[in-house]
Structure 1
């Protein structure tokens, strides 16, 4: 039985690693082949094929539900119903619309929309909206959140920006009730932690600030503020323990068997909590797991503890094969399997404090390989933070918050309980903030597969029973984490990364022993690409410090992320074309005409003395490695380009960063005639409001027969300067969910 389940699960999980989905004719043949294998006792292979086929068919359905290419970037009038709880932050309302209809064409079943300066929306309302729709698209970098995979796993077929709209029908249904409850919770005095209480009760994290999320990530406690298997499981455990305790004390009615009552009560409580939280996919997964564990406890304990976990894993993947695209899926099941490994079949009884210490030890060591594989930060303070936070949140805050919510109709009673829960949360956040400052999170560089495999084996060895003599080898097997470094360019060569930061610019230049960052990406409200995209990518590439941060000028799309870079990494010097317009904390120096050499690579800077605006004042950088040249031009326009051509710096180059993202006012014919680039780099956002790159500019590049590398089409772009090789875009690393 277990062999068959493992084969079926393996087939379902294979989807996560596919570069492309098989053709439909092959998917139609695979189940037939599986049925033909069954009579020959090859049922594991048959079950693998069944699981693989079902996961691929589900993924294809989700891909087919994406916005049609003909509607991409167009503004349409549509009508649909708001589902889930709308999020409000810095004047932007973000929400999801379901079953939207339009006269212009068939729309995906689910849309994720943003409404700048929009009205207060409520779940369950029906709106008629003018929306500029876009196909799912995300940034692709060496280390970043995969937004396209997340959208597909959520079955969101398009994103968009609302231009205007009108309410058609008021809110109704369970969504409206949850929205009203959220307003009550947010209005409750809770020592400034009403947003955290809302996250714990309703699964709505929009009330938590960016600083709160940063503290939670740094201390490895994000899972505490996101309703997950832990919260559902703890509530079920409390209800089960309540009935079991009453039965042990002789206070439970004898005519009602306590064990089935305890299991039914626990599952009912878990299900009610899940419905209160919106019953999203992670909550569904948690309820399935709790239900199977309770069923095992009631009827099938003789089958062992591993089988219910396997069945839960199978049930989750059969219901939603795309769950494997989300990191939370791997971490939640990984944590459960680790606890089984630690606590099953061990001799002796541990005190409660020993159990907590052992559980945190298991999580810290056992989840390390998963965190490395998923590209997530490793929290150095996580074991200590969770040792305190897990019992506080699970045993005190969540029960008080749920009981307080239930008793809100009673004047004063519910508010007092919520106030106590908020006070506890406030104390907890104060402690977590200090831990985050003391031991910040560590984001290691990307590891080769062989090194990762060694680390994974080392973690497994460390988790083996203490009596085994080989455990000490586990420490040695983890040491490569401290000494493994990404290969650097050889002397006289440079590695250049144009990162995918949307409508902005960030270019990393690496020599044998130095690192230069040209611009730092934009910041849009709370979304700082310097913090969310550039910094994780630099750490993934094993950049441990920036020798020179060169900010071409002070515009937000070029310098918005600079603060996050200087806070996250040591920075030697900062140069800029507009140092006076940057934050004083950057201590930027003015760009001037300079030449220098790092590790056999030549650098030259230039700025137009006659500049009249920030774009013209951009600091231009020329790089030459082994005779191959690259121009980084900031946002200079055609007038500044003429001045550059009149300088002593002008000369042909193989690579040119399109000035001003390919705007019509730049990339003049005179510049292209002088530089004669063989390839052009364009950093821009998809469907940007400026129309970059302009069609006339692209036509001029095509006339030169220059290759165009566009971050929208290619993601982050890597150049081995000095090797005279074509550039590589990260979108070339195929994933079935990514736009080509």
Structure 2
């Protein structure tokens, strides 16, 4: 138990340093130690206090000495590829450890096909000369979005190297380089022989590499709580260790010698399997097991887990803030702490498996809801069948077929075909279950207070399980009650918002009314693909959908699974490009477009797929009022159709939060002038500047007429058009208009309650694009 107390003390110390709560952490520890001493457990209290001080000093040292010695700007140097590089279409990415032992994330936009063929020969473990620009990773500019900067910093990566050239690559001579090279060879062999549908799964199960798993398949696994199966688990490492020990003993080696060899060889699997949290935990556990076996020191499993927790945390205190680290240890600790209850089901293997699945789901509930905002109640049943299926059928099948291919054992191609067939059908069944899941709960990101309540509820649930079935049912009912409260909170929330999401060079506006009365979306954002970028060799294996990491995560974090009305201002891809992805993932009440919206086959397909879903498609034109619950949209334009998509943009005016809003799409000066002639009541508080700040929109005449107090400009960072133009910024400044920009400030939100509200940026305390130069005409 002393090791468990030390682990708890280390967690308090690391969190205290991270959030500058050293005195709070000290008081918590002091209270725990006094409680422990009162039970005459002095040694445990002394060890916990010592561990707290050690990790307090270690975390403080790490936070003050983990700064990079590199500087932003041009860089030329040499380094070793620490992962298998990914070449996908015209994109190349890798991690490279430089000669100063600092690791950076490497990116390269491939200029031509010859360069692509050359880059595809680069493997993990190779040392290369690189040249490019060092840039700091950006904070998330989407509320509740994935923070890539924090993710990299947790791995001690402080820079992104946007490379212009990679040359003079050669295979490294160190043992680590050799292992990384073998890993790359194995990954490429799987891609070469297995089908595209199964290759990603086989890579994940053997090497811990998930880059090549189909996006829809991975999303399906995530929705029903099966993502952990795509990571190398303790079960898989245990199977590999057991198989290795069996083979060594069959070769005539003694138990002690085989254990010693495995103790020496197993760390190499850390590198071969990618070093993910679950792999590190499993391999460290096996290493400690073999060490205590060789030394003939008995150790309790809970103490063994606590010891490897301390060792791993000591290697880098920031590991504590990785979701994978948290999940793997939370589940393991909860299972071991419930060992007494588990043993009561001795001899009933199916009941034990169901109980383990239940423990895993309950123990990780607060973390899953705070990190992923949704959970499926179907997960309990699905995991009951999938965990043994993956552990005892799919994992061995993948390993056997892979080694058959490596050694060209007779009928190896038949083995791969069987694996392809089994994995393909497994993926299809998983996607079907995820699509038809009626028990998926999406309540949005809970507040910190609710997370504390969930955590307290989980602790109470574990305590209740030791007290009998009645108390257990009561504890589960308490957790269910918290879920219900979480679900109904939006219906009693008097706050609303107007959100201009940072979707790069595009438009996307989300309107959320108080008391969950309605959600409205104006444009979806999207990427324009230019002809020179459409060469076949540039095509990525799967098109990266912008809304998968902008609009959809935002809606999910807010618990929004239905949009009452989608307005598409006009049929340019930077306004409508993500609509079909939204259509496939979110329930839509109706679609409203301007007259003359359909101009080519792409637009026609968009409308047809909407109709096929049974969604009403309506056409809007000027001087029309669209009345909705809690809000009226006045359509000011278009009054007539023209040959220009921009000139036919849907212009909307509405009042919300005590302010009058005008959204002009990509309307240009001519359309603005005509619109002003037809509407005499044009006083506006907030203007969404037309065409991303183009000098051909937002004319001086319009600004003088409508007299806005604030203007929103939605534009992409370092875009090729130079938006927003300096000319437009000058016009706005001359008229005394406060300008808010997504390219420099990230997502812009207006949060309101009744007739009052305030603007905020996301991230609120950072410059999104530090050091950027002003855009020019």
Match of residue 188, structure 1, among 190, 193, 197: 193
Helix, strand or coil: the match of 1:527? coil
Q: 1: distance between equivalents of 2:683 and 2:235?
A: 61
Q: Identify the residue that residue 542 of structure 1 maps to in structure 2.
A: 559
Q: Identify the residue that residue 150 of structure 1 maps to in structure 2.
A: 151
Cα 1:285/1:738, change in 2 over 3 Å:
farther
Query: In the TM superposition, what are the counterparts of 1:276-675 in structure 2 within 5 Å?
Result: 276-279=272-275, 283-295=279-291, 303-344=299-340, 346-348=342-344, 349-407=346-404, 408-412=406-410, 415-439=413-437, 441-463=440-462, 464-465=465-466, 467=468, 469-477=470-478, 478-484=480-486, 485-487=488-490, 494-512=496-514, 513-522=517-526, 526-577=543-594, 579-580=597-598, 581=603, 583=606, 584-587=608-611, 588-593=617-622, 594-608=624-638, 609=640, 611-625=642-656, 627-648=658-679, 651-675=682-706
1:54 is aligned to 2:58: yes
Q: Cα distance, 1:465 vs. partner?
A: 3.2
Deviates further, 400-409 or 205-214: 400-409
Cα 1:689/1:311, change in 2 over 3 Å:
farther
Cα 1:617/1:301, change in 2 over 3 Å:
farther
Helix, strand or coil: the match of 1:193? helix
Unaligned segments of structure 1, at least 5 residues: 23-40, 102-106
Q: Cα distance, 1:153 vs. partner?
A: 2.3
Cα 1:439/1:576, change in 2 over 3 Å:
same
Q: 1: distance between equivalents of 2:461 and 2:294?
A: 34
Q: Identify the residue that residue 30 of structure 1 maps to in structure 2.
A: none
Q: Identify the residue that residue 732 of structure 1 maps to in structure 2.
A: 764
C-alpha distance after superposition, 1:91-133 (max 9, x if no partner): 43322333289xxxxx964133042463343224555566455
Residue 198 of structure 1 contacts residue 205 of structure 1 at CA under 8 Å; is this kept in 2?
A: yes
Q: Identify the residue that residue 169 of structure 1 maps to in structure 2.
A: 169
Cα 1:300/1:328, change in 2 over 3 Å:
farther
Deviates further, 420-429 or 366-375: 420-429
Residue 139 of structure 2 contacts residue 763 of structure 2 at CA under 8 Å; is this kept in 1?
A: no
Helix, strand or coil: the match of 1:590? strand
Unaligned segments of structure 2, at least 5 residues: 24-44, 529-541, 612-616, 773-777
Residue 658 of structure 2 contacts residue 755 of structure 2 at CA under 8 Å; is this kept in 1?
A: no
C-alpha distance after superposition, 1:285-337 (max 9, x if no partner): 44223323444566687553322222222211211222233211111111111
Cα 1:311/1:688, change in 2 over 3 Å:
farther
For these two proteins, the number of residue pairs brought into alignment is 700
Helix, strand or coil: the match of 2:426? helix
Q: Identify the residue that residue 723 of structure 2 maps to in structure 1.
A: 692
TM-score (norm 1): 0.84
Q: 1: distance between equivalents of 2:20 and 2:491?
A: 30
Q: Identify the residue that residue 202 of structure 1 maps to in structure 2.
A: 207
Q: Cα distance, 1:87 vs. partner?
A: 1.9
Q: Cα distance, 1:490 vs. partner?
A: 8.1
TM-score (norm 2): 0.80
Deviates further, 107-116 or 180-189: 107-116
Q: Cα distance, 1:657 vs. partner?
A: 1.9
Q: 1: distance between equivalents of 2:192 and 2:310?
A: 41
Q: 1: distance between equivalents of 2:68 and 2:761?
A: 25
